[in-house]
Chain A
Amino acid sequence: MHTTNDATPTEARRRFNLRSDRLPGLLFMLASLFFFSFTLTGRWSSGAGIGARLFPQLSLAVMFVSGLVVFRSAGKKEEKKKFGDLDMRLVLFFLALAVLLFFAVLHLGLGVGVFLYLLAMFLFQLRGRTDFFRYAILPAFGISIFIWALFTYFVRIVLPTPLLF
């Protein structure tokens, strides 16, 4: 069994590091194998025959082969640094706020929900500043009015009756 520790040469460790560019190839292969086996069981469709199965299986086969090629060729080229500093915790925080925005819009109202969401975002991004009123509250208020007017009068969004505004 291959194990790694601090004494393992860096090159060897990098080769077996699944967080590198081998991950997408592996994921593509695993996903295609999972769905391919799924298409064979008969539970995947409401009465599909061979014809209905053909195209999904063909695309899964291409996905598996290209995933294998991506997996095998990983590490040959230097990885792009473009996303090196991408913080997934921030991404998840942003997504969580988006979900909260929706619940706020559905329960409190469009204007209030958007204002709270924007205020939270601006306060988070401009943390460290002291003049919140000028840099966070005022812009959040102005943009909320714009979004509220856009979706109320132009797009005419249909929402349940809100608690507030």
Chain B
Amino acid sequence: MSELFLQVFEGAFAPSVILYTTVGVFLGVTVGAIPGLSGDMAIALLLPLIYRVAPAAALGMLMGIYKGSMFGGSISAISFGVPGTPAAVATVEDGYPAKLQGRPKQAMLTALYSSVTGDLLSTLILVFIAVPMAKAALHFGPVEFFALYVFALMMISLLVVGEMKKGIAAAAVGLFIGTIGMDPMMGSVRLTFGISSLRGGIPLIPLLVGVFAVSELLVQFGKECARLSGEKMAAMEEQARELVGYDPAKDRMSWKIYRSTFKATLVGSGMGTFIGALPGAGSSLAAFMSYGLARKLSKLQEEFGKGSLEGVAAPEAGNSATAGASLIPLFAFGIPGSATAALFGAALVMQGINPGPMMIEENKVIIYTLFVIIIYATFINLFLSRGLIPIYAKLSRIRACYLVPTVFALALLGTYASRNSLFDVWILLAAGLLGIFLRKHDFPLGPFVLGFIVGPGAEKALRQALLMGRGEWSFLLKSPIALAFYGLCILSLALLHFSALKKKIVEED
């Protein structure tokens, strides 16, 4: 036990690990602060580059990006009224008005402190829940696992922001693309059309980088927003400067102000942790639901939307609390809870760690090291961001016309470098086009990626279960745990159907 503790301590506090984690947090806040770039994109871009870095340092860096980007989105949301990431859209509601009232520092620090509080609480829940859940999952067989995969796919399709049917369609496409290549049971080659490079299946990294990063860059270039974004933000800043004569004396952060927003922070943290742990719900939904609930529970409801600091604290705590919680299904069952967790799962695989119930048992040192890194990355985020907020606000004004081509070149070269394969570059570009198609028609990317990643596991579980049941489909319903998962699927579908029906009736009235 003490040997394990020493190994974890040495691994987590090695100077290189602390350095990589700090760089990750800095990168995360920076990309979060720049509208158009996001934490997902940065993690996807770095995936091909972390082959040569030690597992703890590489995973610490990615974790730092994840955490940093959650707060980073609020910087441009408060400074310019332009959310840096989709998760920060709810922060604009009160953050930007607070800035216009001459309280940018209070709004920014409220966002930072609530973000860190939410993040820390959900991380602690991850640490204390993932291990017992993984132990319980060790008793799962193929029947239970197949039911769990169905539940995860159903939830990610139902809970995505947008239309449920499109979520299911995107998941189905991901599942199908995941079947290309070797059959996971017999090893026969499927759907390769004679292309030998496809025998191992569609490579994960080019697909992820293409769908998340390249498609977003192509969209930005296609809209020529590159020419406009910098000028737009400069104009908004000028407008804000004209509206208020800024007095730094009136814009001081105090313990009293933090305490006044603490209830909203706790509401956001609870909501974010709950939503983050559900497969697929995501940080944007958590932020909006936290904002709505905090508003309902606040004594100063009428202040919301007019620069209320509670209205800044709740969504920021909510979106940051999803960071730790969304890793719970990944660490316990090997099923990513969100698109970002899927990227993190891919990073684990690249480092030779296979996500699943056995992951913690088989990789105790690295996983416990990761837990420690996740906790101290929160404090790095706090201290780094506290000191560098003015610089981050300036970074968010970097012109997109320079960023988009540079990031695109990094994506192309990084993908090529990961396996020195030109085939990967073609997959990257094709995935970018597929990503544009899905985004343009409002198909969520999360279910697509989750379908692709869990597809082989789900297929293996299904076929093993059918073999055990001698081809009888009813065998899939013989386990009470599996039945509970199917029951939850039906219940969620029914709840969503009735809430949509109720909304329609209210609208008609």
Which A residues are closer than 8 A to B by beta carbons? Answer: 21, 23-25, 28, 32, 35, 38, 44-49, 51-52, 54-56, 59-60, 62-63, 66-67, 69-70, 73, 77, 80, 83, 85-88, 90-91, 94-95, 98-99, 101-102, 105, 110, 114, 117-118, 121-122, 125-126, 139, 143, 147, 150-151, 154-158
Q: Is B57 in contact with chain A by the CB < 8 A criterion?
A: no
- Apart from A35-B176, A45-B188, list 13 A-B contacts with CB within 8 A: A45-B183, A49-B186, A51-B183, A52-B190, A60-B172, A63-B173, A66-B166, A86-B440, A91-B222, A98-B412, A102-B412, A151-B417, A155-B417
Partner of A66, one of B169, B179, B440: B169
B406 (CB) vs chain A CBs: closest residue: A143
A61 (CB) vs chain B CBs: closest residue: B172
With A46-B188, A95-B429, A155-B52 known to touch, is A125 a contact of B226 (CB < 8 Å)?
yes
Chain A residues within an 8 Å CB radius of B188:
45-48, 52
B428 (CB) vs chain A CBs: closest residue: A98
Which B residues are closer than 8 A to A by beta carbons? Answer: 49, 52, 163, 165-166, 168-169, 171-173, 175-176, 179, 183, 185-186, 188-191, 217-219, 221-224, 226-227, 401-402, 404-406, 408-410, 412-414, 416-417, 420, 422, 425, 429, 432-433, 436-437, 439-443, 451, 455, 458-459, 462-463, 466
Contact A86 B226 (CB under 8 A): no
Partner of B186, one of A32, A51, A99: A51
Partner of A156, one of B52, B175, B183, B221: B52
Contact A66 B183 (CB under 8 A): no
Chain A residues within an 8 Å CB radius of B172:
59-60, 62-63, 66
Contact A45 B222 (CB under 8 A): no
Contact B443 A24 (CB under 8 A): yes
Distance in angstroms between the alpha carbons of A70 and B168 in the assembled complex: 10
Contact A101 B189 (CB under 8 A): no
Chain A residues within an 8 Å CB radius of B221:
90-91, 94
Contact B402 A122 (CB under 8 A): yes
Contact B176 A56 (CB under 8 A): yes
B53 (CB) vs chain A CBs: closest residue: A154
Chain A residues within an 8 Å CB radius of B459:
55
Contact A52 B436 (CB under 8 A): no
Partner of B191, one of A21, A32, A35, A155: A35
Distance in angstroms between the alpha carbons of A67 and B443 in the assembled complex: 11
B175 (CB) vs chain A CBs: closest residue: A59
Contact A55 B429 (CB under 8 A): no
Minimum CB–CB distance from B355 to chain A (whole Å) comes to: 20
Contact A114 B176 (CB under 8 A): no
Minimum CB–CB distance from A126 to chain B (whole Å) comes to: 6
Contact A55 B405 (CB under 8 A): no
Distance in angstroms between the alpha carbons of A77 and B219 in the assembled complex: 23
With A51-B463, A101-B412, A102-B416 known to touch, is A83 a contact of B219 (CB < 8 Å)?
yes
B157 (CB) vs chain A CBs: closest residue: A66
Distance in angstroms between the alpha carbons of A80 and B443 in the assembled complex: 12
B436 (CB) vs chain A CBs: closest residue: A91
Minimum CB–CB distance from A92 to chain B (whole Å) comes to: 9
Partner of B409, one of A88, A117, A125: A117
Partner of B401, one of A28, A95, A126: A126
Distance in angstroms between the alpha carbons of A151 and B52 in the assembled complex: 12
Distance in angstroms between the alpha carbons of A47 and B80 in the assembled complex: 59
Chain A residues within an 8 Å CB radius of B406:
118, 143, 147
Chain A residues within an 8 Å CB radius of B401:
122, 125-126
Chain A residues within an 8 Å CB radius of B52:
154-156
Chain A residues within an 8 Å CB radius of B226:
125
Minimum CB–CB distance from A61 to chain B (whole Å) comes to: 8
Chain B residues within an 8 Å CB radius of A101:
409, 412
Chain B residues within an 8 Å CB radius of A35:
176, 191
Chain B residues within an 8 Å CB radius of A60:
172, 176
Q: Which of B406, B420, B429, B442 has the most CB of A within 10 A?
A: B406
